[in-house]
Structure 1
């Protein structure tokens, strides 16, 4: 019996260790936070990202997370009981929480010189419930967080691409200077006016965290564009939402 108990403890310890390995590194469960978080998956496979629900019709994410037909999953981190989810399924309203989005409903930012930036707005085919949690945008005339300020990141990111963690993970990190290599993929334009970075020892973003929100004072101030395919990123690269606020406002109004 003692041997059996010891073996069980050993197995459970291994399970726990594996779960930790698959989390956003340095993070803990978001619990009831980030209920606006959206999962984005390409229908062809190979891409798995995060996004944020802005209102009943719009999601914001990184451009490289889509640019092809995708499936968005809304409300995956919502604080809703099993019975409410079951009732929603029976009514058919849960179908709105998983929608397939074509390229013509994806809007990537281009600057005056037609350079493409790694930030995108996705328009849903159907409105979701106004009761669903959304994330607030900063004022149009906002400023990025100062160096040294604490920001929060989160996501479903994991080290092993074939295993998704059981819960959304959150972590705090600090705004820092970007290095020469700290930038989005080379196909996207970036400079000191668009890109900001964060670093904290032990905190990393992993595969699947790109497109997720960066919060500062409980408001959306960044989009993670780091997307390491085979390792986690310690210096987290983000796009500064304040650089794109007027474009966001115009797109939501006119598209």
Structure 2
């Protein structure tokens, strides 16, 4: 059995706090970059303000209002777009911490960008060593390009045609295919190891062995990075104790 990293958050989830972008997109709405995850379920816990989450699936287009106390979550394959109405802030919980940061999210860029891995990588990347103005501009361009592709997918779904969304799914799978073996290793060392660790603990409890209870520990973490330019907005990130993988999110 692989040992989980130090003390992971419950269920080996990822955690971040996000303040949704306010920049208006081509349809006049502020908010984040539409995208989907291929292997991870994601949840929004709304802590402040008002907004919405727009989703695309083969069942069609949906929009759900977000207000403090609401929790919205979506399975892999659901295209989602965070929309800003009034100072929207959410805590983002991500399944399989480590996988989202490793590229599990695919943006809804136009088909010609999705078809070329180099073009996709250039459009999705934000320079790490650039100044604030350049970084903000790159995040803005990325968001606008994702919205452009997203609006075309939404229009097709509203017309009753799920074909373009299915093609987006296929393009996303082609893009991430070379990374899946690496993701599998992250999953084995993280979420799977954590689940197996729980199974072993249950075995010891069934045997009447209290040894695990004598090794209890507490961890306290503060954001390792504030107001980073994330997928959906300005993001406060955390790091897993003992590793270099961030508890990232959107």
TM-score, with structure 2 as normaliser: 0.28
Which has a greater percent of helix?
A: 2
